[in-house]
Amino acid sequence: MAALYDHPGELAADEPIRLLAIRDTPLSLDEVFRAVGDDAAGGTALFVGTVRNHDGGADVDALGYSSHPTAETELRRVAEKVVADFPVRALAAVHRVGDLAVGDVAVVVAVSCPHRAEAFAACRKLIDDLKHEVPIWKHQRFSDGTEEWVGSC
């Protein structure tokens, strides 16, 4: 899927939402970190979500993510709310869809703000709201042959 903002270097300097995407290809921590670079930011917080090998006491072999066609629009709405609520200099969020293996990167979000406390708080709000409000679903496959669908991310 295409990013809403694909080329951070081409955006106006005052546009805080630098990169938003839902992709079926591997995610780059470097790309997200570069997207939130800002000379006026004293703090940058980056969160990386990976596929773990267990959930609820069961061994996870693999999982898949799928998204609703409105997922990128909802991701933008979540990002705009974070920008409205915090002194964000730059923000980026990218989520993976498709089949992933244990250890794969599933989501990367980052926020830069004038100070570290604001960056931490804004980044936490961004990932928490993404998980609860963006229509992305997880299909886990366990080593005992069972599987389950999990609501948002």
pTM of the predicted structure, to 2 decimals: 0.89
What is the mean pLDDT of the segment spanning 104-116?
98
Averaged pLDDT of the chain: 91
What is the mean pLDDT of the segment spanning 84-90?
98
The yes-or-no verdict on residue 97 having pLDDT over 50 is yes
Rounded Cα distance between 115 and 4, Å, is: 27
Q: What is the pLDDT of residue 4?
A: 46
Q: What is the pLDDT of residue 12?
A: 47
Rounded Cα distance between 31 and 153, Å, is: 21
Residue 11 CB-density burial (10 A; 0-12 exposed, 13-18 middle, 19+ buried): middle
* pLDDT above 90: percentage of residues in the chain: 88
pLDDT bin (cut points 50, 70, 90) of residue 63 is: very high
Q: What is the pLDDT of residue 151?
A: 76
Q: What is the pLDDT of residue 13?
A: 54
What separation in angstroms does the CA of 17 have from each of 38, 73, 84, 126, 143?
12, 13, 11, 12, 39
pLDDT bin (cut points 50, 70, 90) of residue 125 is: very high
